[in-house]
Amino acid sequence: MVKIFIDDKELEVSNGLTILRAAEGAGIPIPHFCYHPAFAPEGSCRMCLVEISGLPKLELACSTVVREGMKILTASEKVIEARKAVLEFLLAEHPLDCPICDKAGECKLQDYFEEYGFFASRFKEAKEKREKKVQISKNLILDRERCILCTRCLRFLSEITKTQDVGVLNRGIHSEIAVYESNFIDNHYAGNLAELCPVGAITDTDFRFKTRAWFLVKKESICPMCSRGCNIFIDSHPGFARTPLAQRVYRIRARENQDINSFWICDFGRYHYSYIDQGRQERIVLKKEAKDTELSWEKALIILAEKVKSLVYLKKKSRIGVILNTWLTNEELYLADKVFKKGLGLENIYVVDPPSEKGDDFLLTEERTPNRRGLKEVGLPDLTPDLGKLALQTDLLLIFGTFLVGRFSVTELKSAFDKIGTKFLFAAHKSALDSLVDVVIPTPLIAEKGGSLTNVNGKVQSFSPALDNSLGLPEWKLLIDLAKELKINHKPFWQLSSPQAILEEMGRGIPFFK
């Protein structure tokens, strides 16, 4: 530990830390472009200059290591003047096309220029003309005029993905970021570059021109596309009073979590968000003789409970089947275990998940479902149903999710489902199953409900809803209502009113969730 002074504030920091990190830890912001906590300091932008007593020149905060008794000034006159000069030099070549730049609103250059007083440029020379639209990967467009050559992208590709696709070519005013021989950056972490770029030099075609950053509501969530459980931000547009938008989610961004995903997410998680707004189930529907009747949850619950009760009364419990999936949260799996396995004593509990796909050695896992580990920890069996057998031994089938469609063909499903008396479907999306079942009950997605997920390494992460949910009650609420209607378990159990309360209750029963 060494003792340093930043702006007359005495700090005790660990040895070997850079000034910028020490200041950030103490809540003193030092402006920077090229520095990023994930990479080795580069020191190319010169924005983080600070004054150190006893030294004749200003030093770089991002690469100067603290020493005992160091006195650092981060906002002295000399420092402010130097930063203004750096900004003036950067802006001498930066086109002021903020109106058409997707970064506007969250651009560091904009923020610092505002902070340091909107001064007028003293350069009389015309700005250099460069290429404005260079495709550098499937989804990324490079604008060389906007680039401030911070080389964050270069360092990401050499330190994180280790593919080294990009370099700085030429020298002086002609330096530019360019892709080497292969014309494209071809790895599925490239989407991070648009987020990493401190200015709008690299933009994402997926988000390009769709909306402006300041309209978006940024909420924390967890990526459900694989079992890694990367922390993300879901950026959604609340829409306007009279002109509702067809799309709510416009962008997925990585959220820092050093234990899981550091600062990054893969492109698979980043670009797969259209499912949130497309093809959603909207109403509880009872399908009877090709006629659809809309139901309230209270009525649907009574129908469901009556079916279950009559089968239990007739001692035909074994003829009730449940198909779960691991897009359900820990709480919902726990409730399913409590209600179906422990409460009703059902044996035919199956799990149908999206099929595994090829993963990679960084973040993306093979399992394309967020809570497989949670299923194991809750203690539910991981059985895939045999459709033919299922059809013969089942009178009432409760299906959670639409993943059956991916596993079996529609004709297979139809022939099996025709033999089953009553089928209830709890699903977020419309699918081929809709016409095969008797009651469809819409459910929210992970982005719209609260709860917790257990990632592949057994880390339990709680999350709250990132989007409004107006389509249906979350599964945990449905299961609690069902338990109450069937009088399973005891009164305090029926009164569990939030995922947090359920998680607490789980902690008492299962040590893993403590």
Provide the binding-site residues for other proteins, judged by CB under 8 A.
98-100, 104, 131-133, 208-212, 214-215, 240-243
Nearer to other proteins among residue 210 and residue 219 (C-beta): 210
Q: How far is the CB of 274 from other proteins (least distance, A)?
A: 17
Between 240 and 313, name the residue whose CB sits nearer to other proteins.
240
Q: How far is CA 225 from the centre of its chain?
A: 9
Closest approach of other proteins to the CB of residue 239, in Å: 10
- Quote the least distance from Cβ 302 to other proteins, whole Å: 43
- Rounded CA gap, 112 and 121, in Å? 15
Task: Please state the closest distance from residue 248 (CB atom) to other proteins, in A.
Answer: 16
* Smallest separation (angstroms) from other proteins to the CB of 99: 3
Cα torsion 156, 158, 162, 163 to 10°: value is 100
Nearer to other proteins, 274 or 457 (CB): 274
How far apart are CB 192 and other proteins at their closest, in Å?
Answer: 23
Strand duo 320-324 + 291-294: pairing: unpaired
499 vs 242: CA distance, rounded Å: 34
In the sheet with 249-254, reading across from the earlier edge strand, the strands are 217-222, 231-236, 249-254
Closer to other proteins at the Cβ: 93 or 395? 93
Between 208 and 288, CB nearer to other proteins: 208
Question: Minimum distance from CB of 98 to other proteins (Å)?
Answer: 8
State the nearest-atom distance from the C-beta of 240 to other proteins, in Å.
5
Element (H, E) at 332: helix 330-336
Per DSSP, the three-state class of 137 is strand
Closest CA to 398 of 453, 315, 335: 335
Beta-sheet strands, E only, within 228-313: 231-236, 249-254, 285-288, 291-294
Q: Provide the 10 A C-beta neighbour count for residue 124.
A: 5
CA distances, 261 to each of 264, 265, 277, 342 (Å): 6, 7, 26, 36
Supply 368's token pair.
């394309």
80-87: Cβ within 8 A, 24+ apart: 80/116, 82/46, 82/49, 82/58, 83/31, 83/47, 83/49, 83/112, 83/116, 84/116, 84/117, 84/119, 86/45, 86/46, 86/47, 86/49, 87/47, 87/112, 87/113, 87/116
Least Å distance, CB 183 to other proteins, is 18
DSSP bridge partners of 3: 12
- For other proteins, which is the closer residue by CB, 97 or 294? 97
By beta-carbon proximity to other proteins, the closer residue of 50 and 109 is: 109
Shortest spacing between CB 280 and other proteins, in angstroms: 22
Q: Which amino acid is residue 162, in one-letter code?
A: K
Q: How many CA atoms lie within 13 A of 463 on its CB side?
A: 32
* Least spacing, CB of residue 106 vs other proteins, in Å: 14
Q: Which is nearer to other proteins, 133 or 490 (by Cβ)?
A: 133
Taking CA 204 as the corner, what is the angle to CA 203 and CA 206, rounded to the nearest 5 degrees?
A: 150
Place of tokens 């651009």: 107
CA distance 447 to 252: 11
Complex with other proteins: residue 158 or 211, whichever CB lies closer: 211
- According to the 3-state scheme, what is the secondary structure of 83-96? HHHHHHHHHHHCCC
Task: Choose between 132 and 419: whose C-beta lies nearer to other proteins.
Answer: 132
Q: Which is nearer to other proteins, 1 or 241 (CB)?
A: 241
